Every structure is written in structure tokens, then in C-alpha cells.
Chains A and B, each alone.
Chain A
Amino acid sequence: MRGRAFQRDSIARELIGAILVLIAIVGTTALLLLVGGYAVDSGLAALWRGSLGSWYAFTSATLVRAIPLMLTGVAVAVAFRAGVLNIGAEGQLLAGAAAAAAIAISLDGLPAVVVMLFALIASAIGGTAWASIAAILRSRFAVLEVISTIMLNFVALHGVSYLVRGPLQEPAHIYPQSSTISDAVHLPRIVGAGRLHSGLLLALGVSVVAGWVLRRTAAGFRLIAAGESPSAATSAGRIDVMATTTLTFLVSGALAGLAGGVEVLGVTFALYENISPGYGYTAIAVALLARLDPWRVVATALLFGGLEAGAGAMQRDAGVPSTLVTVIEAALILAVIAVGALRRHAAVPDAATTPIAV
């Protein structure tokens, strides 16, 4: 059980792991800069300036980006734990953003708190609805969710493109975007922290609760059992694996959708075509690096939030393509897979390959 193993892990080991990851990231970045012929020192300096170098950079760049990554990261982590390979957080985020924008704009005039609440609920429902397409295809037609969710990501992208040029376009019909949400409905800013908004508290809350559900509740146990060994969960645990995985898929979609709603109400204040710079894809790296644990997702989302913020500064100040971060993310996922595979080889005792004498 990964959950119990986590409790045995000493904090020191976690810290050493985190430091190793940081060293690996800085090392990889430096190496890639060197190979690409960029100035390593000014590149890394820009990375630092853009992410942690100042209070403003930390709050308004790093933390603001970490919020959607936390929500989508938990969405991916929970789904993967149940054996549902939901690669569609991006599409679910877009569906949630569209739903939140639509509700916030159409309910304009009602009390702000009510509008905010309904918009956030709508975003979760939007994400759930988008995920439900893939969930139904999976449970009824055995369609691989990896393929279907990616297809739905593309469909969602075209869908938002249609909305911001059609039914949701701003009244003047000039720009491909929705009208702006009135100020009162914006998620409140956190005082003294620049552009940082209270969506952070929501994301932290979601991570804590999700981690607690996985560790401490029967539902969490069923979810993990269904993911680790569907046949054993069915026969020994009398768990309805299909119902558990489908429900998890929908919850995962709701969380990713919520990320879209929080982004609309906290950062962009309108629906745009490119409202997400690929948060739903980065979320996969966030979740895998966190070893699919929602509590660790908080840390890895911060890490990737900082990395993406820093990449923006590298592009601005040192002319380094910001896509470099995608390479680092992919390298991190591959490193996690490799470490996992090597551990598995090391962990298999000799007894496992010899007949057991009971």
C-alpha cells in the first residue's frame, strides 16, 4: 500500500528526494542551455528571477500558476491511482472554464457570492460532463481512455474556439473572447500577495481532502484496490471495479473542470481560446512526480509552477524558447518511470521466481 508506505517514509528521505529532483532540474536545464548554445548563467539567472527571485515573482507568477496545476495534478493523480489513465485534464479544464464563464456572464446582476458559487459549481459540472463522455466510452464500449480523452482535448479546443467567436463572444463581436466578468465576482485577492487569488486555498483544500480520502476512507481503499489489481479487488474485496473507476473518472473530471473555473474567476476574468498553456498536460508530470499522492502534488505543482514562471522569464530575458520546460517535464516523467522500473527489478525477491513451498 503506497499510502501506508508514505507514513513510514521519514521526512528526511522526502526532503532528500526533493533536493535531488531540484538538482536534477537545474542540471538538466543547464545542460539543455549549454547544448542549445545559450548563455547558461544568464538563462539560469532569468529562471530564478522569474520564479523565486522576488516576492512578486513567487506570489504572482509561481503561485498563480501552481493553482491550476495543483487542481489538475490531483485530478490526474486520483484517476491514475484508480487505473484510469485520464490524459484529458486539459479538455476537462477547458469545459470547466467555458461553463464558469457562461454562468458568470449570464447570472450577472445576482449577488456576487451567489454568482461565484454557481460559476465554480458549473465548472466542476462542465469538467464532469466532458469526462463522462470518455467514461461512458470506457465502461460501455471498452474504448481506451488514453485515446478518447486526447481526442476530446482537441474537440474541447475547437469547442472553445467556437464559443468565443459565437454564443459567448463579447457584445462588440470584435475579439475572440467572452465579455469580462464583473469585478465583484472575481475570486478575492490575497492581501499583500500581488495577483495571487484565493483559489490557492481551494486548491490546497482539495489536495488535502483528496489525500485524506485516499489514505483514510473506505472509498479511497476501494479506489486504490481497483487500480492496483482489478481482479483481486473484484474477487477478494467484492469491489465493483467498474463503478469505482467510473466514479473516480468523473471526480477527476470535476477537479480538472474546477481548475478551469478558478482560472476564469481568478486570473483571466474572461474565456479565451488559449486560456490554458497546457496545464492539463503538465498535470501528468505533476502527478507522476508526486507518485500519484495528492499531498505531494502540492509540492510538485509549486515546482512546476515555478518552472513555468521561470521559463517565461528565460524567454523574455535570455531568448531561450519556453518549450524547453516541456522537455524538462518529459525528462522528469521518464526519470520517474525509469526509477520505478529499476526499483521493481530490485524489489522482486528471488523467492518470487522459485516455486513457493507452503
Chain B
Amino acid sequence: MTDVVEPFFAATIRTAVPLALAALGELLVERAGLINIGLEGAILAGAFGALVGASAHGVALGFASAIAAGLIVALLFVAFVVWARADQIITGTALTLLSMGATGTLYRALYGSSGVALSIPTSAALPIPGLAALPVIGTALFSQPPITYLVYVLAPALAWWLARTHAGLALRAIGDRPDAAEAAGIAVDRVRALAVLCGGALGGLAGGTLVLAQAGTFAEGMSAGRGFIAIAIVALGRWTPAGVVGGALLFGAASALQFAFQAMWWNAPYQVFLAIPYLLSLAALAGAVGRARAPASLGQALEPRR
């Protein structure tokens, strides 16, 4: 039994980690009342940044340049949406397109047009003594690349920060009533810009995780809609860090189940399983409505600059 269950848990965690990182970042953005569709672009840019950084100087620089690449995409979003008050959905779409084009072009320019599969240094598993030896879940949870443990720390930290600090309160106030927050003396634009930058950094980190802790290589378009799935996860998780982690685990489990399902119904077309995460996102978005409370100003056009 364990030889089925253990790999299932391991696959669940592996798939969930980048989704959780990206979704926690988007959670910050949405709590500030914005929706960054460019998250997909940030993840892809992060993946490419990780490739460049890691092939130059190892895993650490890989993660650093993944964050930097995600930040570049986020910075453009800030310039267009927060500063110039452009439409956030169209800007986000354009940034994702830009990221797809730029990473594809640079990849082919730097590594050959055939897109040779590159092998780069990857982030090795770091077993936590004692915990990693736990039965069934030990390996899945506690014998993972360090980036996995970051999620364990980040989610509760974010929950505490949102609920218990003045800065967290300011962020939530902006998401619900930007005009009131402004009147209360909160620098709305600055906080929104910071939230988007944090979201971009985490999106880049998610892309870096795909390359450095999972695939070990880069492929064009390898983000494969994870940014959009992460946005669905934020709604599914009702805009709370705990909910977001739960949502990411659900998607991880659904992806991991693919292999089990495929083994059980060997004659069902494999494309059905490949489509599951996207169908699940749609169901999650449809089901999230009504019982969840989104930030009141979410996605609305920004008030004119003063």
C-alpha cells in the first residue's frame, strides 16, 4: 500500500509547492484590490531566469534571478496599472504575452533554435532529521528541496501578518475601501505597488521552483497556465493563506491522481487527465462564488490619480 500512497503524497506536494507560492503572492495582490493576470508571465519569466542564473552560477543564483525576472514583470504591471491607471486585465494579458515572446526568443537565441534540452544544477532534497523518517508522509513532507519548507513558513507568516499587523490591516482596507483607506492616510498607490512586487517575486520564485526543483530544465511555455490556476486557487481559498494552501494541495492531489487514474482506467484517453486541472479550476471558480467574500474593490478600475 505504501508504495502507492507515498509517491502519491510526494507528487501532490511537488505539484502544490509552485502553485502555493504563486497563489500566496496573488493573494497579496488581490487583497489590495487588484488582479494580476500577468502572474502567468511572471512565472514563465521566473522559470527562464532560473535557467539563466543556474546555468551560470548554480542553484542559489538561479532562485535569485528567478525572483528578479518575476519582479521585472511586476514592475511593468505597476507602471501601467498603478501609475498610469491602465486597464489591469488587458495589461496583465499583454505582459503574459510579452513574457511568452521574450522568454521564447531569448531561449532560442541563447540555446539554439531547436531548443535543446539543457541539464542544469537542481535543488537537492534536504531531509529534516527525525521528521523525514515519519511513516507514509515523512518523505513527502520533510524530504524535499528547501523551497518546499519556505511555503510551510510563508503561509502562516502571511496569515499572521494580514490579521495581526497594521500593515496587513492597511492592505486589507485598500482592497475593501480604497477611498476610505486613502482618507485614513494610507499611501494606497505605494502599498498596491509593493503588493504587486511581492506577488511578482513569489510568481518568479514559483517559476524558479518548476525549473530548479522539478523539471531540471526549461521549456517554452512551461508555466502551462499555472498562473491562471493560481488565480483560481486564490478564489477557491477564499482569499486566506490557509485556504490558498489547501487549494494548492487539492490541485496537487488532482494532478497526482492522474497517474493513479491512468493506471486504473487504462483505456480512458490521457488527454482527459491532462485537462483535469483546468476543469477543476473552472469548477472551483464557479463554486467559490456566493460563499466566499472577495475584497470589495477587487478588479475595479482604479480611481483617477489626484
- Residues of chain A having any CB pair with chain B under 8 Å: 32, 36-37, 85, 87, 133, 137, 140-144, 146-148, 150-152, 154-155, 158-159, 161-162, 165-166, 281, 284-285, 288, 315, 319, 321, 323-331, 333-334, 337-338, 340-342, 344-345, 348
Could you list 19 A-B pairs, sorted by A, with CB under 8 Å?
A133-B282, A137-B285, A141-B289, A143-B286, A144-B35, A147-B232, A151-B225, A151-B229, A151-B232, A158-B272, A158-B274, A165-B271, A166-B269, A325-B101, A326-B98, A328-B101, A334-B98, A342-B84, A344-B85
Tell me the residues in window 79-138 of chain B with beta carbons closer than 8 Å to chain A beta carbons.
80, 84-87, 89-91, 93-95, 97-98, 100-102, 104-105, 108-109, 113
Contact B91 A326, beta carbon cutoff 8 Å:
no
List 10 tightest A-B contacts by C-beta distance, closest first. A326-B101, A323-B104, A330-B98, A327-B101, A321-B108, A162-B271, A333-B94, A330-B97, A158-B271, A341-B84
Quick one: given A150-B225, A162-B269, are A341 and B80 in contact (CB under 8 Å)? yes
Tell me the residues in window 42-97 of chain B with beta carbons closer than 8 Å to chain A beta carbons.
76, 80, 84-87, 89-91, 93-95, 97
Contact of B80 among A37, A159, A327, A338 (CB under 8 A): A338
Contact of A340 among B86, B97, B98 (CB under 8 A): B86
Contact A154 B289, beta carbon cutoff 8 Å:
no
How far is it, in angstroms, between the C-alpha of A150 and the C-alpha of B109 when the chains are bound? Answer: 28
Interfacial chain B residues near A327, Cβ < 8 Å? 98, 101-102, 105
Which of under 10, 10 to 19, 20 to 34, or 35 or more describes the interface residues of B?
35 or more
Contact of A338 among B84, B102, B224 (CB under 8 A): B84
How far is it, in angstroms, between the C-alpha of A285 and the C-alpha of B281 when the chains are bound? Answer: 26
Interfacial chain B residues near A143, Cβ < 8 Å? 282, 285-286, 289
Tell me how far the C-beta of A80 lies from the nearest C-beta in chain B, rounded to whole angstroms: 8
Query: 17 new A-B pairs (CB below 8 Å) besides A151-B225, A340-B86?
Result: A32-B105, A37-B109, A146-B37, A150-B228, A151-B229, A154-B275, A155-B275, A159-B271, A159-B275, A321-B108, A323-B108, A333-B94, A334-B98, A337-B94, A338-B84, A344-B85, A348-B304
Tell me how far the C-beta of B214 lies from the nearest C-beta in chain A, rounded to whole angstroms: 19
Interfacial chain B residues near A87, Cβ < 8 Å? 93
B167 touches A (CB below 8 Å): no
Q: Which secondary structure dominates chain A's binding surface?
A: helix
How far is it, in angstroms, between the C-alpha of A148 and the C-alpha of B298 when the chains are bound? Answer: 17
Contact A85 B271, beta carbon cutoff 8 Å:
no
How far is it, in angstroms, between the C-alpha of A340 and the C-alpha of B91 when the chains are bound? Answer: 12
Interfacial chain A residues near B285, Cβ < 8 Å? 137, 141, 143-144, 147-148
Contact B299 A144, beta carbon cutoff 8 Å:
yes
Number of A-B contacts (CB under 8 A): 137
Contact B105 A319, beta carbon cutoff 8 Å:
no
Quick one: given A146-B93, A147-B228, are A337 and B86 in contact (CB under 8 Å)? yes
Tell me how far the C-beta of A141 lies from the nearest C-beta in chain B, rounded to whole angstroms: 4
Quick one: given A147-B285, A161-B271, A337-B86, are A323 and B105 in contact (CB under 8 Å)? yes
Interfacial chain B residues near A37, Cβ < 8 Å? 109
B154 touches A (CB below 8 Å): no
Contact B278 A329, beta carbon cutoff 8 Å:
no
B23 touches A (CB below 8 Å): no
Quick one: given A143-B286, A158-B275, A337-B87, are A330 and B95 in contact (CB under 8 Å)? yes
Quick one: given A143-B286, A159-B271, A337-B91, are A323 and B101 in contact (CB under 8 Å)? yes
Interfacial chain B residues near A152, Cβ < 8 Å? 278, 282
- Residues of chain B having any CB pair with chain A under 8 Å: 35, 37, 76, 80, 84-87, 89-91, 93-95, 97-98, 100-102, 104-105, 108-109, 113, 220, 224-225, 228-229, 231-232, 269, 271-272, 274-275, 278-279, 281-282, 285-286, 289, 299, 304-305
Question: Whose C-beta in chain B lies nearest to the C-beta of A146?
Answer: B89
Interfacial chain B residues near A315, Cβ < 8 Å? 113
Interfacial chain A residues near B37, Cβ < 8 Å? 146-147
Question: Whose C-beta in chain B lies nearest to the C-beta of A134?
Answer: B282
How far is it, in angstroms, between the C-alpha of A290 and the C-alpha of B85 when the chains are bound? Answer: 21
Interfacial chain B residues near A324, Cβ < 8 Å? 101, 105
Interfacial chain A residues near B76, Cβ < 8 Å? 334
Contact A147 B108, beta carbon cutoff 8 Å:
no
Interfacial chain B residues near A155, Cβ < 8 Å? 275, 278-279
Contact B109 A154, beta carbon cutoff 8 Å:
no
Contact of A321 among B35, B86, B87, B109 (CB under 8 A): B109
Question: Whose C-beta in chain B lies nearest to the C-beta of A148?
Answer: B282
Tell me how far the C-beta of B290 lies from the nearest C-beta in chain A, rounded to whole angstroms: 8
Contact of B282 among A85, A151, A323 (CB under 8 A): A151
Contact of B101 among A288, A330, A337, A338 (CB under 8 A): A330
Interfacial chain A residues near B299, Cβ < 8 Å? 144
Interfacial chain A residues near B275, Cβ < 8 Å? 154-155, 158-159
How far is it, in angstroms, between the C-alpha of A340 and the C-alpha of B90 when the chains are bound? Answer: 12
Tell me how far the C-beta of A101 lies from the nearest C-beta in chain B, rounded to whole angstroms: 17
Interfacial chain A residues near B272, Cβ < 8 Å? 158, 162
Interfacial chain A residues near B104, Cβ < 8 Å? 321, 323, 326
How far is it, in angstroms, between the C-alpha of A142 and the C-alpha of B102 when the chains are bound? Answer: 33
Quick one: given A36-B109, A154-B225, A334-B80, are A85 and B89 in contact (CB under 8 Å)? yes
Question: Whose C-beta in chain B lies nearest to the C-beta of A333?
Answer: B94
Interfacial chain A residues near B289, Cβ < 8 Å? 141-143
Contact A319 B84, beta carbon cutoff 8 Å:
no
How far is it, in angstroms, between the C-alpha of A144 and the C-alpha of B113 when the chains are bound? Answer: 37
How far is it, in angstroms, between the C-alpha of A40 and the C-alpha of B105 when the chains are bound? Answer: 16
How far is it, in angstroms, between the C-alpha of A281 and the C-alpha of B100 when the chains are bound? Answer: 11
Contact A333 B86, beta carbon cutoff 8 Å:
no
Interfacial chain B residues near A158, Cβ < 8 Å? 271-272, 274-275
